[in-house]
Structure formats: structure tokens, C-alpha cells
Amino acid sequence: MPDILILDQISKQFDQSKVINQLSFSVKGGEIFGLLGPNGAGKTTLVNIMTGLLNADQGTVTLFEKHAPGDNFARANIGLASQSLALYEDLTAAENLRFFGKMHALEKTALKTAVSQTLAVVGLEDRANQRVKEFSGGMKRRLNLAVAILHKPKLLILDEPTVGVDPQSRNAIMESIQTLSDQGHSIIYTTHYMEEVEKLCDRVAIIDKGQLVALDSVNGLLQTHGKNHRIRYSQNNKVITVDSDNPLQKIRELLNSEQQARISNLSVQSPTLEQVFLNLTGRELRD
Amino acid sequence: MTKKLLAVTQKDLKLLYRDKGGFFFTFIFPIIMAVFFGSMMSGSGGIKGISLQVVDADQSVISKAFVDKLDAAAELKVVLSDEATARETVRKGKAAAYLILPKGFGEAKGNLFSGKTATVQLGVDPKRSAIKGLLQGVLMSYAAEDMQSAFTDTSKMSTQINKSLAEVRQARDSGELGDNDKTDRLLDFLDNLQEMVDTDSFNNTSDGNSTVGNTADDNTSEESQFNGFQPLIIETQAITVNRDGPPSGYDVSFPQGILWGILGCLSAFSLSLVSERNQGTLSRLLVSSANRSTILAGKALACFLTIIFIAVSLLLLGKLVFGIQIKQPDLMVLSLVAIGFCFSGLMILFSVISKSEKAASGITWAAMMLMAMAGGGMIPLAFMPAWMTPVSQFSPVKWSILALEGPMWRQFSLIEMLPVVAVLFGIGMVSFLLGVRLFKWQSSST
């Protein structure tokens, strides 16, 4: 599959602060591409540049092989589910979908079909005529996703689509995303939930302070950056945790030591994406 | 593009009608305002600087002195004019009233006890009917001042008494006065008064300039009715429509009510763009196939249609229930389109300027209040200081009210309407283009 999005040496500055700094990567057609980064890393700015809402100060963005963000083809083929619930609360679910469908130039029959199909995808077909302000948070999130996929975009950009929803709604949203991927949509997925990335994404980019710090598949990231296994055991009624890049050697040492008889509940945890993320971006708080 | 524009319009109209607060201030509040102020329109207040067009057709010393006295009055702002200009100026709402001192005013003003009483013609802008009584009072008080000064000037007094004695006797002898007892009593009173004036008991005796007894050849027999010491007769004249008389207070309050509805509409739609920005729907629209101009034009069209709906609804209500006049429906259509265009453009500008909903609310209401106050939307301009008149030229509310009143009861011709609607179209166009430009600049720089 050819690259559906290519970012080349993108930089963006607000006032004196460089939010994106010489950032480059590409997204392949049909893949789910995870975009991770701590707060303030530049994810939303990057999303805005990809969608044409913002212009980059430097660098180029190429969409669908030859298009620029903001041109008609690009706009017609991008779906955006932003972090905020971009919905009209006083309209019903169907009215919201119909309105945004018209904005994507869907005509009567196609629009009607798209609305009913999309509502079915996100499990809201029974709530089509209910006003959004009466929806739960999870239902609103699902509708937010529905609006983004209504016009069957080639590239779907999901900016934290599961934030603040219950496990059932999150599961439903993730299933919908997987279905869309199976149908051939390319998806850029930003989130702070590492397990979602591990479960969904084919490749993951981690950015920090506007720069790309890692880009690989989840396994690749774990192998490259997840050096330490976590060994946990109880000794004298205390729980002890030790990180080691050679867990077998460490366990041998423990079992051969004089304290061996007092060790119990020994477990070894493989490196996680969260550990990788923290290794790469540090542990200091970000605001 | 048209379909997208109409989709934005349809969506915004739905949202407005489903927002109870917005609906109230856009549709219900203006009706309350129109009816309430219509019923209160006879009220009055302190007046300073009532603009008065004065026509001195007499050009006598007395008429000029009377005009000078009016000119010096704090309550009035006198502008000398000819009759046609004076009537037109008031009809167009550019002056509160006109006053005509007809030929013979000076001579009649000299009559104290007999002869024709001085008569003036007063025309008051029906929209400012509350000041009619006040103007009458002001004119009467200055006329009475003149009479009082005549009583304290013995030479004038003596001349007047002699003149009156001659006139009354002539009228009695010719049989014009039916009640002889009353006439005799008046003649006795004038004789006694003459004696008093000629003696030292009456202060300030003649200084040698007296014209006592010099009344025989005064040819005023046809005006010899006893005037009862009335200083002035004020004939009021209807403005605008000679046949139908002045309009009611509702003819004044309904245009104001329409403007309040429009201002409510302006507020609601200005907030909508800021809300869209904050809740993320604007980003979603900008990512979609709709361009920025389409989005703004769709919103402006929704605002325009709502303004037309408000205006037509209130005009219909006013006409059917309160009997307001709409004399030129064709020109009213032109006015409504111009007003709708003007305020839709302003809405776009206000909505783009504001960054947050609070800011939008504050900016829009502050601007609305200033426009309404300066334009006579809250208090008629006649009740405001003189310096407000030039300020009001900058308020679209003033032009909108004029655009509504022109076809209602001011009977503006098309030529007279054109400058008014041109101003409104101009404000709307400049505001819309500024708004679109600012919106594009904001979108690309933040």
C-alpha cells in the first residue's frame, strides 16, 4: 500500500515556542497508526496541520500521494473525530449526521443510507431521533465517531476518541475502529491509553517536545526500548520490585542466594508500552 | 456550495428555535417592548434642546423679537427656515417640530384686550408627540411673558387700552356684539384701567412717547372680538399625512420593538459562531468540504431570514391588533431587506471579533446598547442632549428605525428612502467583508 500521508520536516511555532520541530514520518494506506505523546507534545497541533486547520511554518505535508491539506480532495477524504465533542446538542443524532453529511456533499439517497449505516456501526440506530443533549458521555463519543466516518473517508483521524467513556462504550468504539480498518480505512489514532494502542495499532510514533522520539510497531518498540523486565516477589512479608534487562540472570541470582527460602510469589512482567513511553519521554509531570 | 450554505442556514435556524432563551429574546421580548412602550408613548420627561424649525413669515419687529426669545430659550434649539423646508425636515424626522409665525403675527401680538389674538402654527413629529404639550407650554409661557411686559409698560398699555376701547365701541355700534351687558362691563373696565394708567397710582407713567388716544383710524373692526387675554393661539398641524392625521404610539413603538428583536437575533447568532469554535464543530466544518465563506454566508442567511421573520411578524401583529399604518408596503420590503442585510453583516463581524462566549455576549450586548441608545431605540432622540444628534448618525438603529417609519407613516418617496437603505446596505457590506477577512486571517494564524 502506498503512503497515504507524508510529513516532511514539519515545524510550527507559536510566539517564541516551537511546538513542532523538524518532524517527519509517513502513514501507510490501510494501517492504524498510533500517535503518542505526553501533554503538550504537539499532537493536536500536528493533527491540525494534517487536516489543514493550521499551516506549517516549514516542511511539507502530502496527502493521498499528491494532495495538500485543505484542498478539496483532501477535505473530502479526511474524517476527523476531535478530542472535543463536536456535535450540536440541540439537534438529534440523525440531524447531526444529516447536517455534516450535507457539508460533505452527500446527496439525498446516499445521505439517508449513510446515516442509517453509520448509526448502526456505532450502535445508535435506536437513538437516531433523540437530541444529543440527552445522550450519555459514551453515546456522544460514539456519535462523534459516527460523524467522522459518515462520508467514508480514506483517512480517519481520531484524537482521543475514548476519553471519559465507560469500558462498554470504549470497547464498542474500539470494535468500530477495528471494523473500519478491516474495511480499508487508514486511521491515525491519538490516545493516552496504552492498552488501546497495543491492541489496535500497527505502528506507533512517539513524539515529545515537537520531535519524533520513536517510530515502530508495538513489538518493535518493546524490543528496542523496553529493555527492563519487572521482577516482583515477596520476602519477609514485603513486596519487592526489581527492573532488569536480563531477568533470567536476576532470578538465578535470587534463587541461589541465602535468602532463597524466604522468597515467595515470584513473577516476571514483560516490558509494557507504558514503560517504553516513560523511558522515552521521562517521568516529570507535563502540563 | 449553495446546498452547503442552505444546510448551515437550516441548522442555525433549528438551533435558534430550540434555544428557549434565544427564542424569548428574539421573538417574545420585542413584542412586549412594542406593546408596553406603545401604551406608554404619551409619557413625557425632561426635555433639553428640542429641535424646532421656525418660519417667520411676518418678519415684523415683534415676530423677530419673539423668535429671538425662543432662540435664547434653553428648552429649544431654533433653526430658522422657510415653510416647505420646515415641514419636510420634521416629516423626515430631522427636527422635532416646526413653528410658523404667519403674516400679521406681530400686529396681532400687540393686541391685548381686543382684536385678533396672535396665532401660530405648530407641527410636531408624531413620533415625538410626547413633547407636543411641552412645546405648547413653552410657547405660551413666552407669549405670556410678552403680555406681562406690556402690562408693566404704561405707554404700551395706554395705547392698547385706547385701541381696544375704539374697537369694542365700533363693534358694539355695528351690532357685532350681541351681549350688551357684557360689552358695557368691558368698556367700563377699559375706561377705569385707562384712568389708572394715566394717574400716578399706576407705576411708571408716560415718558412722553405715549400714543394715547391715537386709535380712531385703526381699521380693525373685523377683529374686534374680546380675546380674553389669551397670549397666543397655537394651531397644531398633523405631519406626514394630511388626510389621516397623526399615527398612534404603536406606530412608533413597533419599529423600536422590531429593532429589539433584531438586536436579540444579532446576539444569538453572534454567540453561535463562538460556540461552534469552542465546541469543535467549527473545526469539523472547516475540515469538511465547506469553505469559510460558505459557513459565514450560511450563518448570515439564517440571521437575515430570522430578522425578516421577526419584522414581518411584528408588523402583522401591529397592523392586525394595534392598527399601525404601513402606507407603502413595497418600500417596506426594500427597508426590511436593507435592515436584514445590515444586521446580518454586523452579526458576522461581532461573532468573529469575539474569542469566547462571554466575550461575544459582552461585546454584542455592549454594542447593541450603544447602538440602541445612540439611535433612539431606547429613548427617543428628542429627549436626549443636542450632541447626541450627530452621534446618532453612526448608529444603524437610527437608520433602521427611519427605514421602518418611512414606509409606515412618514410617507417617504423612493428617492427619500434610497439614502437610508444605502447606509444600511453599506454598513452590512462593510461589516460582512471585514468579518470574512478577519475570520480567514484568524483561521490561518491560530
Give the closest of B4, B10, B286 to A53, CB-based: B286
Residue B314 in grid coordinates: 411584528
Nearest CA among A77, A57, A58, A72 for reference residue A5: A77
Distance in Å, alpha carbon of B22 to nearest chain A alpha carbon = 13
Name chain B contacts of A80, Cβ cutoff 8 Å. Answer: 283-284, 287
How far is the C-alpha of A34 from the C-alpha of B173, rounded, in Å? 119
| DSSP 8-class letter at A228 | P
Name chain A contacts of B286, Cβ cutoff 8 Å. Answer: 52-53
Check CB contact under 8 Å for B4 and A91: no
Q: At what angle do helices B329-353 and B357-374 cross, to 10 degrees?
A: 140
Asked whether the beta carbons of A225 and A280 are under 8 A apart, the reply is yes
pLDDT value at residue B209: 36
For β-strands A32-36 and A186-190, DSSP reports them as: parallel
Nearest CA among B96, B90, B109 for reference residue B136: B96
How far is the C-alpha of A62 from the C-alpha of B287, rounded, in Å? 16
Asked whether the beta carbons of A34 and A203 are under 8 A apart, the reply is yes
Check CB contact under 8 Å for B289 and A83: no
Name chain B contacts of A84, Cβ cutoff 8 Å. Answer: 279-280
User: Is residue A110 less than 8 Å (CB to CB) from chain B?
Assistant: no
User: Is residue A68 less than 8 Å (CB to CB) from chain B?
Assistant: no
| DSSP 8-class letter at A133 | G
The domain made up of A3-223 has a fold known as Rossmann fold (3.40.50)
Distance in Å, alpha carbon of A48 to nearest chain B alpha carbon = 9
The answer for A 167-196 residues in CB contact with B (under 8 A) is none
How far is the C-alpha of B8 from the C-alpha of B376, rounded, in Å? 34
Nearest CA among B14, B294, B146 for reference residue A103: B294
How far is the C-alpha of A231 from the C-alpha of A252, rounded, in Å? 12
Q: Which residue has the cell 383710524?
A: B217
Check CB contact under 8 Å for B287 and A76: no
pLDDT in tens, chain B (446 residues): 688 888 888 888 888 778 777 677 777 777 776 776 666 554 444 445 678 899 999 888 888 888 888 888 877 888 898 988 888 888 877 788 899 998 888 888 766 666 677 888 888 887 676 677 778 877 887 777 766 666 666 666 677 777 777 777 777 777 766 666 777 777 777 777 777 666 654 444 334 333 333 333 333 334 444 444 566 788 877 665 443 433 577 887 888 888 888 888 888 888 888 888 888 898 888 888 778 888 889 999 999 999 999 999 999 998 888 888 888 899 999 999 999 999 999 988 888 887 777 777 777 778 887 888 777 766 666 566 667 777 788 888 889 988 998 888 888 889 989 999 999 999 999 999 998 888 877 665 55
Check CB contact under 8 Å for B289 and A76: yes
User: Is residue A146 less than 8 Å (CB to CB) from chain B?
Assistant: no
- Please name every residue paired with B191 in a beta bridge, in sequence order, or none if there are none: none
pLDDT in tens, chain A (287 residues): 788 999 999 999 988 888 999 999 999 988 999 999 888 888 889 999 999 888 899 999 999 989 999 888 999 899 999 888 899 999 999 999 999 999 998 988 999 999 999 999 888 999 999 999 999 988 999 999 999 999 999 999 999 888 888 888 888 888 889 988 998 899 999 988 888 999 899 999 999 988 999 999 988 988 888 777 888 888 888 899 888 888 888 888 888 887 666 788 889 888 888 888 888 887 677 66
Q: Which residues of A14-51 are buried (b: 16+ CB within 10 A; e: fewer)?
A: eeeebbbbebebbbebbbbbbbbbbeebbbbbbbbbbb
Nearest CA among B252, B299, B437 for reference residue B8: B299
| CA distances from residue B237 to A223, B87, B132 in whole angstroms, order as listed | 99, 10, 11
User: Is residue B11 less than 8 Å (CB to CB) from chain A?
Assistant: yes
- Please name every residue paired with B78 in a beta bridge, in sequence order, or none if there are none: B52
pLDDT value at residue B11: 86
pLDDT value at residue B201: 46
Check CB contact under 8 Å for A91 and B3: no
Give the closest of A80, A85, A95 to B287, CB-based: A80
Check CB contact under 8 Å for A80 and B289: no
pLDDT value at residue A10: 93
Each domain of chain A, given as residue ranges in start order, spans 3-223, 228-270
pLDDT value at residue B222: 41
Work out how many CB contacts closer than 8 A connect A with B.
70
Q: At what angle do helices B329-353 and B414-445 cross, to 10 degrees?
A: 20
Check CB contact under 8 Å for B279 and A84: yes
Distance in Å, alpha carbon of B24 to nearest chain A alpha carbon = 16
Distance in Å, alpha carbon of B12 to nearest chain A alpha carbon = 10
Torsion of CA B40, B44, B49, B55, to 10 degrees: 80
How far is the C-alpha of B400 from the C-alpha of B337, rounded, in Å? 11
Distance in Å, alpha carbon of A97 to nearest chain B alpha carbon = 11
Name chain B contacts of A55, Cβ cutoff 8 Å. Answer: 444
Q: Which residue has the cell 415718558?
A: B207
Nearest CA among B117, B219, B212, B118 for reference residue B167: B219
Check CB contact under 8 Å for B280 and A102: no
User: Is residue B20 less than 8 Å (CB to CB) from chain A?
Assistant: no
Torsion of CA B175, B181, B186, B192, to 10 degrees: 130
Check CB contact under 8 Å for B288 and A104: yes
Phi, psi (rounded to 5 degrees) for A225 = -115, -10
Own/partner long-range contacts of B434-438 (Cβ < 8 Å, ≥24 apart): B434/B349, B435/B296, B435/B345, B435/B348, B435/B349, B435/B351, B435/B352, B436/B292, B436/B293, B436/B296, B436/B348, B438/B349, B438/B352, B438/B353
Encoded amino acid at A223, one letter:
Q
User: Is residue B1 less than 8 Å (CB to CB) from chain A?
Assistant: no
Give the closest of B4, B10, B287 to A53, CB-based: B287
